Amino acid sequence: MSSFSGKVVLVTGASSGIGKATALEFARLGATVGLMARRGEELEKVAAEMGGKGIVLPADVTDEVAVNSRVSELVSQAGGIDVLIAAAGISLRAPFETTTIETIRRVMDVNFMGCVLPTKAVLPYIKARKGCMIAISSLSGRKGTPEYTIYGSSKFAIQALYDGLRIEHMRDGVNFGVFCPGFVDTPLRESVLKGDGKVYENPPKLPFRLWSVDLCVNKILRMVRGRLKSSLLPGIIHYLLTADDFVFRGWISDMVLRYKFGYWRK
């Protein structure tokens, strides 16, 4: 019997990438999965792969009314919620100086408020079942990164949100975890925003390797099963950043990022 048999999982950003892959794996392991994203037609395709385990919940995660309505719909159909995977997000790569305020607001709205609203909507139901919430962040949400200053800021905010919630609800038996991967091989790589809010026709070359979606899914499942508060990909980054901050006050990682992003001679 699967450890997720009889469980109800809500996944935001479930139409593609990490969200889709995670939703499919939870369904394979026996869970009933609520699929939330803007593109209802894509969610229908995901649900079709689940053999009756998917509940389609089209909604923009920045729309409070829509999110609350869809969460209520999921609870009505499935009886409650055990797990939230907050995976919705957009990517931006541009120097802060050339990024418009409108683009900054858009990224913060989708990446941060798009985590806040589902989290707030499901909290009473997760508390009732002493469940688990996992937010998908980024390594740039753990270490400031050139050209990802705004994207990283939206992810730093998620870290602060879930760290605080973990303490507020420790006695309620709710686990809050943040997963921080590096660059992941998903369709998001083809829709990275420029500073003006438009999508790159040819996205910039990545400074580091791409990680597989399957590895991300395995990490997320391990976090839910172990009720972990954090996980990084690659995992060794946690130790490298800790050692760098403690011994070198972050100087080594700053130098590596300057070199990798071409700021060594700027």
CA pair distance 64, 80, nearest whole angstrom:
19
What are the two backbone dihedrals, phi and then psi, of residue 85, each rounded to the nearest 5 degrees?
-115, 105
What is residue 183's DSSP assignment? S
Residue 240: partners with Cβ closer than 8 Å, 6 or more residues away: 253
> Cβ distance 216 to 184 under 8 Å?
yes
The pairing of beta strand 54-58 with beta strand 83-86? unpaired
Residue 177: closest CA among 241, 130, 233, 220: 220
3-class DSSP state of 232? strand
Given the residues 125, 148, 151, 162, select the one marked as catalytic: 151
151 is catalytic: yes
CB 156 within 8 A of CB 108: no
SS3 (DSSP) at 25: helix
Structure-token pair, residue 97:
């100086």
The rounded distance, in Å, linking the Cα atoms of 34 and 50 is 11
Which residues are known to be catalytic?
Answer: 151
